[in-house]
Structure 1
């Protein structure tokens, strides 16, 4: 089963950029499809692979920050190639 995940990491502290950059670089180094924009990062792939990666990387980034929020949206389908039809 394929999924699409949108993540928005919001450290609630000064000097937040290093943790975000570290998190995104770790996601990029996976074999999954990863897209970024200024507001969020999207990951596309097999459910088990995506969730295994997120379990490890979320724990690691939470250890790097003092306080923070992580907003996660999960869609049950691979929306990587989505193009608006209007």
Structure 2
């Protein structure tokens, strides 16, 4: 099953840009995902189990490395990427 996810990250820190960039860079290192970033959010597309395990691992890494953040996510079944 394919999954599409839209993620917005809101670090609770005044210097928030490096925290967001780090999360996006780590997402892009995973094979099997399509990651598209714009000024409002990051979209992740791929196989359900892969997407969920990557998001879980990278959210945890963000909390451990940078502290408190708010993640707002939308999960939609299917591949809604522009390339699909």
Structure 1, unmatched stretches of 5+, are none
TM-score, normalised by the number of residues in structure 1: 0.89
Tell me what 1:18 maps to. Answer: 18
Name the CA distance, whole Å, in 2 between partners of 1:82 and 1:73. 19
Tell me what 1:33 maps to. Answer: 34
> For this pair of structures, how many residues does the alignment match?
83
Tell me what 2:70 maps to. Answer: 69
TM-score, normalised by the number of residues in structure 2: 0.91
Matched, 1:81 2:55: no
> Residues 10-59 of structure 1, C-alpha deviation per residue, up to 9 Å, x if partnerless?
01211111111110000011121000000100000000000010111000
Structure 2, unmatched stretches of 5+, are none
Name the CA distance, whole Å, in 2 between partners of 1:67 and 1:29. 23
Provide the aligned C-alpha RMSD in A. Answer: 1.5
Deviant stretches of 4+, over 4 Å: none
Tell me what 1:55 maps to. Answer: 56
> What is the Cα deviation at residue 82 of structure 1?
7.1
Per the alignment, in what secondary structure is the counterpart of residue 14 of structure 2? Answer: coil
